[in-house]
Amino acid sequence: MTDAAASPSVRRLSEWDAAELRALRAEYGSPLYVLDLERVRENARRLGAAFPDAEILYAVKANALGDVLETLREEGIGLECASAGELERALAVTDSGVDVHYTAVNPPARDLDWVIDAWEEYPELTVTVGAEDTIDRLADRGYDGRLCLRVNPGIGAGHHEKVQTGANAKFGVPAERALEVLEDAAERGFDVVGIHAHVGSGVSSDQLDDHREFVSRMGDLAREVNEALPTDLEFVDVGGGFGVPYRDDEEPLDLEAVADATRDALGDVDATLTIEPGRYFVADAGVLLTTVNTVKDARDTTAVGIDAGMTTLLRPAMYDASHPIRNLTADVDAAAAASNSETPDNGRETIEQTITGPICESGDVFCTDRKLPASERGDVLAIGNAGAYGYEMANQYNSRPRPASVVVDGDEVRLARRRETIDDVTRLEHGARSASDDSSGDPTE
């Protein structure tokens, strides 16, 4: 068992073994996602140590790989799901609906139909709603089970405007109307068990004041609800959003300070504190391996083309996100030269490079003028902090197959997802000559 206090609070890309990563690329090809399950466990234990009295759920949307879900369930972590598909994955690794929450935003009818069927088999499942008419839609389907209300607290934070949810009208019932909605739900026979809100994704230490104010508002609301309803709330869910450093010069989140501030801001509430991080569990547990295809001198930079693109890792194009990048081939060559005293240092010159993908979009860029060892065709690069929202946001734009994924668990390495083929890209088309379409595995069919 790993001691959470002994493991580093963040795993930098430089700490991954370059030779081992290159060997994985040689065996499984590229692009290739690599996920270290032991690091996932370390992150889970660190969260457990910081929040010993809280219910901890994992936001499945960060990385829904079955190996991740099974690993976290073994660590006693619950699962928070944003879609019927994620819920189907979660229930596949649990014995009951306990510690499983369905927290959809504007759920499609077919999702609700599937969730109701699942609830009939797993009655301890908790459904979180973010709109009054979603309660009506549940009632119309005969649902009167465990209900949690998502609240819009009017305050947001996070690493990018597109992930600051706390004040966005899309998310939750306005806090000033929450009590009225909850009272009505209780009178209609729903089992009201909690309130929920999420301030945003990638919250950093310098946004702690916003997080504290948000939690304080949730504590005030919880006390008001407990006074008004016939039974007290079971839990107050303050979401996750705990940030991780994507740049080498960024300090890791002071998790203990966040935990202390959360408890203090929530105050004395007769309910369990619930948190639901996603990114924090898996971001630094994953890397993306890719191969250099092209190196060319452009007017103002050296353009380096790799076989991963915005279809493989969307975050840089979508959020202007910065990911660390390492030339594994250059590092291994330099290490080999240094270990042989008779061989002169053959370290490469460090130059500014723009790393680009193969997608026909000018936004398909991983970094601009980043100082790295001069790249050569065939080099293997590693892109760090790719464990969260990497494969989950991968897509088939330009009819490109999605990459493979492997998991590392101690000395064991196994293929978790095979690499897609072009047949996989086209097989759902009507009349396709490739494998026939079998929708039986779709939980919303």
Q: Which residue among the candidates 81, 148, 360, 367 is catalytic per the annotation?
A: 360
State the Cα–Cα distance between residues 212 and 235, nearest whole angstrom: 18
CA separation (Å) from 381 to 21, 236, 328, 367? 10, 43, 6, 13
Tokens of 417: 């997802």
Residue 81 falls in the annotated catalytic set: no
State the Cα–Cα distance between residues 277 and 301, nearest whole angstrom: 39
Peptide bond into 31 cis (omega under 30): yes
For residues 377 and 292, is the Cβ–Cβ distance under 8 A?
yes
Tokens of 288: 């993306």
State the Cα–Cα distance between residues 443 and 80, nearest whole angstrom: 17
Task: Please work out, in degrees rounded to the nearest 5, the angle formed at the alpha carbon of residue 176 by the alpha carbons of 189 and 237.
Answer: 65
Nearest to 277 by CA among 1, 103, 57, 39: 57
State the Cα–Cα distance between residues 12 and 348, nearest whole angstrom: 22
Tokens of 214: 């948000």
Q: Tell me which residues are annotated as active site.
A: 360
